[in-house]
Amino acid sequence: MKRTFTAAAVAALMTGSASADLVIPDLSYRTGPYAAGGIPFSDGYQDYFALLNARDGGIGGEEIRVVECETGYNTEKGVECYESTKGEGALVYQPLSTGITYQLIPKATADGIPLHTMGYGRTSAADGEVFNWTFNYPANYWDAASVAVNYLLDENGDDLSETSVALVYHDSAYGAEPIRTLEELSAKHGFDLSLFPVTPPGQEQKSTWLQIRRERPDYVVMWGWGVMNQVAIQEAANINFPMENFIGNWWAGAEHDVTPAGAAADGYKALNMNRIQDYPVLGEIQTQVIDAGMGAGDGTNVGKVLYVRGMYAAMLAAEAIANAQEIHGVSDITAAQMRDGMEQLEITEARMEELGMAGVGPSFSVSCENHGGSGEGLVQQWNASDGVFEPLTDFITPDDAVIDPLVEADAAAFAEENGISPGCL
């Protein structure tokens, strides 16, 4: 048993290092309590790379090889996945888990592999001078909190002094992230903020929502993920909380979150960093990847909120690879070159249109100082009868005057704790 295992491990490591493709590890989770969100994201992420391979022969003539590793949203398995894939020449990690991100930030920095935590992970990683190898463009949690508040300001004629906002959050590193920003914003705009932690995974929320019914906040903002979202939306429907006053963040606004509540979920709002509509690129994926039998999943997720987000993440990675190839003049880039490609990435409206996904995300550029992108997000609303999330607003700009000092302070604290002297590479 032990010998077969050793042989297996050696064989696995050898087959990995033999080829010279562009290696993209996909730390996915298709099992466990968060699988409903993990599956469409991973499908979108892998299918876009499969499309590039099938249509363009990879990027710059180099085939892309996606290595999938199942984490189950579990940090220990995440570490195992990271260690087993990093030797294969991994270019960038996208763990889709705040917990795993916190593990990987120091490890990836030490190993010199960039980490892209798109809209999750450690918010202060936006400070590129402290977090040289971590990127969280196009937006982070604190941007999301600010975008939500800016949307409420817009809805209430720029005055929130008489309003009360409740934050229902996943009681974990992920859910606790927006609290500090919301507290600052509550002080600035004078709204009343109350906090409702939900114990992960969040199947039991009766008492939380009874309390909300008693306190009658004007708005509920939710930081949820996985089964927690479905339960919260169902419970909100049970206490007849008006859905149009219920706003989820971008991890709490996918089809599988609202469909269990049926028609009662109609009008539920959520943030998104992508506009959900019918893009030409989705048609290409359908014909060249799914119909060709090369899809990562069964193809039923194409075009869904998290599928589009996974595809968007893959697009950003692919653009960074192309950028790195251009900067360094080689097609078979290394992880360090990938980092340069990410740091000098610029996504424009014209480029997104060229890629067949016009307006899928905000236009932004990355720099050494700012790894966080523009921070813009939009608000979408669930239409239960048609079964789609419809974009309600255009991309909303966050309040950088509040967020920037917070990012700076948190990054400075991290730098001090870990003895990092901030600077560009």
Least CB distance to another protein at residue 79 (A):
6
Asked whether position 205 contacts another protein by CB under 8 A, the answer is no
Q: What residues between 160 and 199 interact with another protein by CB under 8 A?
A: 171-174, 176-177, 179-180, 199
Asked whether position 300 contacts another protein by CB under 8 A, the answer is no
Q: Which is nearer to another protein, 3 or 216 (CB)?
A: 3
**Residue 243 token pair:** 């859905």
Among 98, 208, 230, 323, binds another protein (CB under 8 A): 98
Least CB distance to another protein at residue 200 (A):
6
Asked whether position 28 contacts another protein by CB under 8 A, the answer is yes
Least CB distance to another protein at residue 93 (A):
14
Q: Which stretch binds another protein (CB under 8 A): 100-108, 161-169, 237-245, 313-321?
A: 100-108
Q: Which is nearer to another protein, 122 or 309 (CB)?
A: 122
User: Using an 8 Å Cβ cutoff, are 217 and 152 in contact?
Assistant: no
User: Using an 8 Å Cβ cutoff, are 323 and 294 in contact?
Assistant: no
Least CB distance to another protein at residue 413 (A):
8
Q: Which is nearer to another protein, 84 or 344 (CB)?
A: 84
Q: Which is nearer to another protein, 143 or 177 (CB)?
A: 177
Cα-trace Rg, the chain = 21
Residues 67, 76: Cα–Cα separation, whole Å = 18
Encoded amino acid at 125, one letter: A
Q: Which is nearer to another protein, 11 or 330 (CB)?
A: 11
Q: Which is nearer to another protein, 76 or 390 (CB)?
A: 76
Q: Which residue's entry shows tokens 């936006």?
A: 126
Least CB distance to another protein at residue 374 (A):
21
Crossing angle of helices 206-215 and 227-238, rounded to 10°? 40
Least CB distance to another protein at residue 376 (A):
22
Least CB distance to another protein at residue 44 (A):
16
Q: What residues between 77 and 96 interact with another protein by CB under 8 A?
A: 79-80, 83-84, 86-87
Phi-psi region of 249 (alpha: psi -120 to 50; beta: other; left: phi over 0): beta
Q: Which is nearer to another protein, 79 or 336 (CB)?
A: 79
Q: What residues between 104 and 163 interact with another protein by CB under 8 A?
A: 105-107, 109-111, 122-124
Least CB distance to another protein at residue 354 (A):
33
CA dihedral for 235, 238, 242, 243, sign (positive or negative): positive
Encode 283-314: b = buried (16+ Cβ within 10 Å), e = exposed: eebbebbbeeeebbbeeebbbbbbbbbbbbbb
Q: How far is CA 119 from the centre of its chain?
A: 4
Task: Give the residue ranges of DSSP H helices in 57-127.
Answer: 75-86, 98-111
Among 40, 58, 200, 398, binds another protein (CB under 8 A): 200
Among 3, 5, 216, 263, binds another protein (CB under 8 A): 5
Least CB distance to another protein at residue 239 (A):
25
Q: What residues between 59 and 78 interact with another protein by CB under 8 A?
A: 68-70, 72, 74-76
- With 0-12 CB in 10 A as exposed, 13-18 as middle and 19+ as buried, what is 36? buried
Number of residues that bind another protein (CB under 8 A): 54
Least CB distance to another protein at residue 103 (A):
5
DSSP, res 31? S
Residues 182, 187: Cα–Cα separation, whole Å = 8
Least CB distance to another protein at residue 156 (A):
27
Contacts for 252 with CB less than 8 Å, ≥ 6 apart: 222, 223, 224, 225, 228, 229, 232, 270
Residues 336, 328: Cα–Cα separation, whole Å = 11
Torsion of CA 297, 300, 301, 303, to 10 degrees: 130
Query: Helix or strand or coil: residue 38?
Result: helix
Residues 328, 70: Cα–Cα separation, whole Å = 33
Asked whether position 410 contacts another protein by CB under 8 A, the answer is yes
Q: Which is nearer to another protein, 176 or 327 (CB)?
A: 176
Applying CB under 8 A, the residues found at the interface with another protein are: 1, 4-5, 8-9, 11-13, 28, 30-31, 35, 68-70, 72, 74-76, 79-80, 83-84, 86-87, 98-99, 102-103, 105-107, 109-111, 122-124, 171-174, 176-177, 179-180, 199-200, 410, 413-414, 417-419
